[in-house]
Amino acid sequence: MSAKVVVVGSLNMDLVTRASRLPRGGETLIGQSFATVCGGKGANQAVAAARLGAQVSMVGCVGTDAYGQVLRQALLDEGIDCRAVSAVEGTSGVALIVVDDNSQNAIVIVAGANGALTPAVLGCFDAALQEADVIICQLEIPDATVGHALKRGRELGKTVILNPAPASRPLPQEWYASIDYLIPNESEAAALSGLPVDSLQTAQIAATRLIDMGAGKVIITLGAQGSLFADGKGFEHFPAPSVKALDTTAAGDTFVGGFAAALVAGMSEAQAIRFGQVAAALSVTRAGAQPSIPTLADVQAFKTP
Ligand code: RIB
């Protein structure tokens, strides 16, 4: 059997509006467009890993509403194993997203069915974790479930990736010992480390703190500045390919899924980071979450403009 990426995480229907700028508190803006787009950090990472060449299984929950069927079918259409995607009574997760003319976004998520992915439900799908080579988690499902998945991944000897998104506070200390690759963005690295992260130098200091807390290796994604890799022995900065951004939604997810797909394909860490960065760069040139994620052929054909 070929190497496998298992994603334990969220599926959301993204309700996306475009407006010239993000609204201020109490303000009503006239938007330019509206679309419903399949998203959710977990599902996006699963789609990225699948489009970029990996065999993928998803563990998650959708609602019994119409969105739930669409979200599940979208993953099936990518060839993702959805035997561990449960339909639970109620509404699916949703994300309200505004994207402005500078390609920046603001997102509010409502967990819905994602909140039903409890440790007990995950326990029913332990076979999926056992079959994994790489397990990826994010933070749009209950913390207790993330903790369980990380711990179980470590017990089973799998490569464990945590993308701590969204994060606004430190992680439970006991999680760190189970994490092989911690992949936060700048604001998440700041929230986790308690240190400001606004430059390469401050990212190095925060990454060192996160490794001291117990993470195996840390990759801080820095948007247009690329990413910083730290393994406790040193640092490496990977500049980002330069592209014209249209919509940054799911860029981080594309990086994480692409990095995992590259690792299971046998690439080195440095190659996997560069591969993930090209995939993420391509994703920001397109609108939406899952529709923006490139294929392996897209990444292989990419040439720096
Ligand atoms: O990372 C992008 C994702 O964040 C969106 O697809 C949205 O669903 C939110 O979860």
Determine whether 173 is exposed, middle or buried from the number of CB atoms within 10 Å of its CB (0-12, 13-18, 19+).
exposed
* Ligand 1 site, residue 40, Cβ cutoff 6 A: yes
DSSP secondary structure string, 139-187? SSS-HHHHHHHHHHHHHTT-EEEE---S-SSPPPGGGGGG-SEE--BHH
Q: Which residues contact 295 (CB under 8 A, 6 or more apart)?
A: 51, 52
Task: Kindly state the average pLDDT of the residues 171-194.
Answer: 97
Ligand 1 centroid–CA 271 distance in Å is 26
- pLDDT tens digits along 133-156: 999 999 999 999 999 999 999 999
- pLDDT tens digits along 21-55: 999 999 999 999 999 999 999 999 999 999 999 99
pLDDT band, very low/low/confident/very high, at 228 (cuts 50, 70, 90): very high
Q: Which domains occur in the chain, in start order?
A: 4-11+40-92+113-301 (3.40.1190.20)
CA distances from 120 to 58, 126, 144, 229 (A): 16, 10, 10, 34
Question: How confident is the model at residue 305, as a pLDDT?
Answer: 64
- pLDDT tens digits along 99-139: 999 988 999 999 999 999 999 999 999 999 999 999 999 99
* Ligand 1 site, residue 42, Cβ cutoff 6 A: no
Above pLDDT 90, what percent of the chain? 96
Task: Kindly state the average pLDDT of the residues 73-89.
Answer: 98
**Which pairing describes strands 134-137 and 159-162: parallel, antiparallel, or unpaired?**
parallel
Tell me whether residue 231 is one of the annotated catalytic residues.
no
* Ligand 1 site, residue 93, Cβ cutoff 6 A: no
- 1 has a pLDDT exceeding 50: no
- pLDDT tens digits along 245-292: 999 999 999 999 999 999 999 999 999 999 999 999 999 999 999 999
Task: Kindly state the average pLDDT of the residues 170-175.
Answer: 96
Task: Look up residue 196 and give its two tokens.
Answer: 């400001």
Mutate to test the pocket of ligand 1, among 7, 12, 293 (most ligand atoms within 8 A of CB): 12
Question: How confident is the model at residue 303, as a pLDDT?
Answer: 84
The dihedral built from the CA positions of residue 183, 188, 192 and 195, taken in this order, carries a sign that is positive
Ligand 1 centroid–CA 1 distance in Å is 31
How far is the C-alpha of 213 from the C-alpha of 154, rounded, in Å? 17
Ligand 1 centroid–CA 47 distance in Å is 13
Tokens 């899952």 locate to 290
Contact between 249 and 14 under an 8 Å Cβ cutoff? The reply is yes
Question: How confident is the model at residue 168, as a pLDDT?
Answer: 81
